[in-house]
Amino acid sequence: MSPAARPTAFALPETPALDEREHGLSQAELIQLFEIMVLTRTVDRRLQALYRQGKVYGGVYSQEGNEGVAVGAASALEDGDCLFPMHRGLGARLMHGDSLDVILAQLLGRGAGPTAGRDSGLHHDVLDRRIFAMISHLGTQLPVACGAAMALQRMGERRVALNFTGDGATALGDFHEGLNLASVLKLPVILVVENNLYAYSTKNEREFACAELAARGPAYAMPATTLDGTDVLAVRAAVLEATAHARAGGGPSLVEARALRLRGHSEADAHDYVPKSELEAGRRNDPLGRFEKSLREWRMLDDSLFDEIHARVTSRLDAALERATALAPPDGSEAAWGRWSEEGHPSRGAGVAGTPGLAARPVAPRRLEAGA
């Protein structure tokens, strides 16, 4: 793709504008948020293409349609806050300071990637940003986020742990166990349910019987809200409120953000269980298109800046992808190495890892893959 080529608009023209709420962000901050969303979408689309070309293998899980939830929620975090993202977590990871080089080396299964080819998808730790891995059993990381939050309390940090999960995971036992213990122990945990309306092919009505998941909040004695996840600023505002509540010692919150998944569960999924009319309506509500339209209305974005952002994002991706592609695949002889800590690990070499004291591991400042 030539950086100068004007990408087609992400959404149909009748995109509704965002809520005119007080977002408290400067123009530069709003544009940075937009650029992270554009980067997320651009990487996502490139991965789809590479998958069709047979250049990436394994599961490719697009998050088209969910960028407003991922980026909006993660934008409410500060340095030192813990992030437990999900598989459709590209935007959240980029927003909280994961790097494109690390992400691509991971997705391409390279030996120098963060899991050295041991795990697929966005299943890697970024310890100095307190971004933690997940397993494919969506829902299991909520109790883990509770443990991290307990550690934050013990270390006396006014930090929070943000966990993303899916609508299907709300049917699991860990959803209940995690929310319950977060509430009982008053832990600084925020659970964002990224409700993309389909758990693989299963509609919400087969996963939960309540009209809105916010209805579960009072049962756990915690604040809960259900909102439109295609409005990135609304998501950010709700999660900011939840983080303020948690930082003040108020305990956990539940945020349900609804946004239709615009692609299949994975790129191997024909996605034919979503009616065409529903999909078209979803595309009209594309979170990128909505945000773009509002930014233009607020005179913060024009054609020239729009093109500049896309050119910057594309060239950044091109360069990172070239670097990741050049990395060697893992060495098959290492398949049974690193099972126990004392064996060492490809990501840090042989031998015992240093164990940190009660003083937390150092947190690096957030460096965003956005902006000039």
Partner 1 sequence: MSATAPPRFNAPMGDGLPHGEAAGKVGESTYLQAISRALRDEMRRDERTLLVGEDIAVMGGAFKITHGFLEEFGATRVVDMPIAESGILGTCIGAALMGLRPIAEMQFADFITCGFNQLVNNAATWHYRTGTPLPFVVRLPAGGNIAGGPFHSRNPEAWFVHQPGLKVVAPSTAEDAYGLTIAAIRDDNPVLVLEHKYLYRRQKAVLPEQGLVTQIGKAAVRRPGRDAVVFTYGWMVHEASAVADELAASGAGEVEVVDLRTLLPYDAAALVERTQACHRVLVLHEDTLTGGFGGEIAAFIGEHAFESLDAPVLRLGAADAPVPFAQPLEKAFLPSRDRIEQALRSLLAW
**Residue ranges that bind partner 1, judged by CB under 8 A:** 82, 114-116, 118-119, 123-125, 127, 132-133, 135, 137, 140-155, 161, 173-174, 177-178, 180-181, 184-185, 336, 338-342, 345-348, 352-353, 355-358, 360-361
Give the separation between CA 233 and CA 229, rounded to whole angstroms: 9
CA separation (Å) from 17 to 40, 71, 192, 220, 283?
A: 21, 18, 23, 34, 14
**Cβ closer to partner 1: 220 or 291?**
220
Question: Smallest gap, in angstroms, from Cβ of residue 145 to partner 1?
Answer: 6
Q: Which of 112, 125, 118, 133 is nearest to 335 (CA)?
A: 118
| Both tokens assigned to 269 | 């999924």
Nearest distance, CB of residue 157 and partner 1, angstroms: 10
Question: Which residue number, 115 or 314, has a Cβ lying nearer to partner 1?
Answer: 115
CB of 181 vs partner 1, minimal distance in Å: 5
d(CA 286, CA 7): 15
Q: Which is nearer to partner 1, 193 or 309 (CB)?
A: 193
How far does Cα 347 stand from its chain's mean position?
23
* Of 65, 1, 50, 6, residue with least CA distance to 309: 6
Rounded to a whole number of angstroms, the minimum distance from the CB of residue 65 to partner 1 is 28
Smaller CB separation from partner 1, 133 or 300: 133
**Would you say 119 and 133 are in contact if contact means Cβ atoms under 8 Å apart?**
yes
Closest to partner 1 by CB, 46 vs 186, is 186
Which tokens hold the place of 332?
């098959």
Nearest distance, CB of residue 70 and partner 1, angstroms: 21
